[in-house]
């Protein structure tokens, strides 16, 4: 029995299917299927029933899942308690939603570390649900997730059930950003209809109708004729500047205020309050490095332009 097998069981139970679990874990589906079969054969027990509606835990599987969660949680807690002790320097793994400001704040944090201190940082950019999976599985020590204000209670409960600590760090309204040469760049207040006339750069893993209604405007459904889906955040910025008259929605932050070629534009029709939250395992805040990074994010987010009160 391997730790990875237990993490697969937890992921399948959460997602409801092997296909969804594989997608959440960025693993090949056959690998998870084989691992599950091998584990069931090893322990001589069926953990899931395979049904037309997905994977359903057997009664024995329910008990196994509970114990698996305890084991995985204890292992991650042990890792957190005994990581970054002694003179090994700073080591941290961070999973975050794609953001205009998070990389900048983390860069400032790194710059404030002692020059002679060793550093190992891994930074991943993905979507909110994958960030939660990364932290829950131990792939990341810290996660930054993004939700609408209406989703806050639901996600807070979900994170509590996973025994994750959560701390709101920023609230804002999404805003369109574009090149200073864009026809709308000097507008005092652009409309959604005006934006739809131009190419939109979007995250490759976004479901646009969900994104628009959760993060822009509740009843909004764009009629944009041109969309360019890009996975990498750096490539998105290059496309934004390279595609004629392109725009994209972004959080407030230094990325487009410090670069003269990019400008943010007011759109008062975008009226949904978006909240970014930082999460970690309950044991995580006992780590000096994790706590220091979370504290720094919390402090600096409050200083960003365009940030709204969290409550």
Per-residue model confidence as pLDDT tens digits over 235-264 = 888 899 899 999 999 987 664 444 468 888
State mean pLDDT over 203-220: 86
Rounded distance, CA 166 to CA 276, Å? 10
Q: Residue 90: its pLDDT value, please?
A: 85
- Mean pLDDT value across residues 101-106: 91
Strands 142-148 and 175-179: unpaired
Q: Which pTM value belongs to this model? A: 0.71
Handedness of CA 57, 55, 31, 124 (dihedral sign): negative
Q: What is the spatial distance between Cα 151 and Cα 288, in angstroms, rounded to a whole number?
A: 31
Distance CA 18, CA 35 (A): 11
The predicted structure's pLDDT at residue 271: 94
What is the distance between the alpha carbons of residues 21 and 157, in angstroms, rounded to a whole number?
A: 21
Contact assessment for residue 138 and residue 79, using Cβ atoms and an 8 Å cutoff: yes
User: CB–CB of 296/104 below 8 Å?
Assistant: no
Q: What pLDDT score does 166 carry?
A: 93
Specify the higher pLDDT residue, 279 or 232: 279
Backbone phi and psi for residue 176, each to the nearest 5 degrees, phi listed first: -75, 135
**3-state SS, residue 220:** coil
Q: Quote the CA–CA distance of 41 and 62 in Å, as a whole number.
A: 17
Percent of the chain scoring above 90 in pLDDT: 41
Q: Which pLDDT score is estimated for 249?
A: 93
Q: Do domains 3-81 and 90-172+274-301 have the same CATH topology?
A: no
Enter the tokens of residue 204: 């490759």
Burial of 114: CB neighbours in 10 Å, binned 0-12, 13-18, 19+: exposed
Complete DSSP assignment for 3-47: HHHHHHHHHHHHHSSHHHHHHHHT--HHHHHHHHHHHHHHHTS--
Domain extent listing, the chain: 3-81, 90-172+274-301, 175-271
Instruction: Specify whether the CB–CB gap between 139 and 24 falls below 8 A.
Output: no
> Is domain 175-271 given the CATH code 3.40.50.970 in the classification?
no
Comparison of pLDDT for 72 and 256, the residue scoring more? 72
- Tell me the per-residue pLDDT of 19-63, one tens digit each, with 9 for 90 and over: 888 887 778 888 889 999 999 999 999 999 988 888 999 999 898
**pLDDT over threshold 70, residue 88:** no
Specify the pLDDT at position 256.
44
- Across the chain, mean pLDDT equals 87
- The whole-number average pLDDT for the span 52-80 is 82
Helix and strand numbers (H, E) in the chain are 11, 12
Contact 251, 172 (CB under 8 A): yes
- Residue 72 tokens, joined: 């995985």
Give me the CATH code for the 90-172+274-301 domain, please.
Answer: 3.40.190.10
CA separation for the pair 248, 264 (Å, rounded): 10
The answer to whether residues 249 and 215 touch, using CB atoms and an 8 Å cutoff, is: yes
Grade residue 216 by pLDDT with cuts at 50, 70 and 90.
very high
Say if domain 3-81 classifies as CATH 1.10.3720.10: no
262's tokens: 């990019």
| Percentage of the chain exceeding pLDDT 70 | 93
Instruction: Give the confidence band of 80 by pLDDT, cuts at 50, 70, 90.
Output: low
Q: Are 148 and 214 in contact (CB under 8 A)?
A: yes
Q: What is the pLDDT of residue 25?
A: 79
CA nearest to 296, candidates 174, 121, 151? 121
Nearest-angstrom CA–CA distance, 18 and 31: 10
In tens, the pLDDT along 123-175 reads 999 889 889 988 988 889 999 999 999 999 899 888 988 889 999 999 999 99
């Amino acid at each position: 029995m391997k730790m990875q097998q237990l993490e697969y069981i937890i992921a399948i139970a959460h997602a409801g299917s092997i296909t969804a679990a594989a997608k959440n874990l960025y693993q090949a589906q056959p690998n998870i299927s084989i691992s599950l079969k091998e584990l069931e054969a090893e322990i001589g027990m069926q953990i899931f029933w395979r049904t037309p509606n997905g994977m359903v835990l057997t009664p024995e599987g329910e008990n196994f899942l509970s114990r698996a969660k305890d084991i995985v949680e204890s292992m991650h807690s042990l890792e957190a308690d005994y990581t970054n002790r002694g003179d090994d320097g700073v080591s941290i793994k961070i999973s975050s939603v794609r953001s205009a400001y998070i990389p900048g704040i983390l860069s400032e944090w790194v710059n404030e570390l002692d020059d002679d201190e060793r550093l190992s940082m891994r930074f991943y950019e993905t979507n909110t649900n994958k960030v939660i999976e990364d932290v829950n599985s131990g792939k990341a020590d810290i996660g930054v997730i993004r939700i609408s204000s209406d989703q806050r209670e639901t996600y807070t409960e979900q994170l509590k059930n996973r025994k994750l600590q959560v701390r709101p760090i920023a609230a804002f309204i999404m805003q369109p950003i574009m090149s200073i040469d864009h026809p709308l760049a000097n507008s005092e207040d652009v409309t959604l209809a005006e934006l739809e006339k131009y190419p939109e750069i979007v995250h490759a893993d976004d479901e646009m109708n969900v994104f628009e209604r959760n993060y822009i405007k509740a009843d909004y459904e764009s009629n944009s004729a041109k969309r360019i889906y890009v996975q990498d955040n750096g490539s998105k910025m290059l496309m934004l500047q390279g595609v004629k008259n392109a725009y994209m929605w972004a959080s407030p932050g230094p990325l487009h205020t410090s670069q003269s070629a990019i400008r943010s534009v007011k759109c008062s029709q975008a009226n949904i309050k978006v909240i970014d939250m930082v999460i970690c395992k309950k044991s995580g805040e006992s780590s000096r490095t994790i706590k220091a990074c979370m504290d720094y994010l919390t402090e600096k987010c409050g200083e960003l332009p365009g940030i709204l009160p969290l409550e």
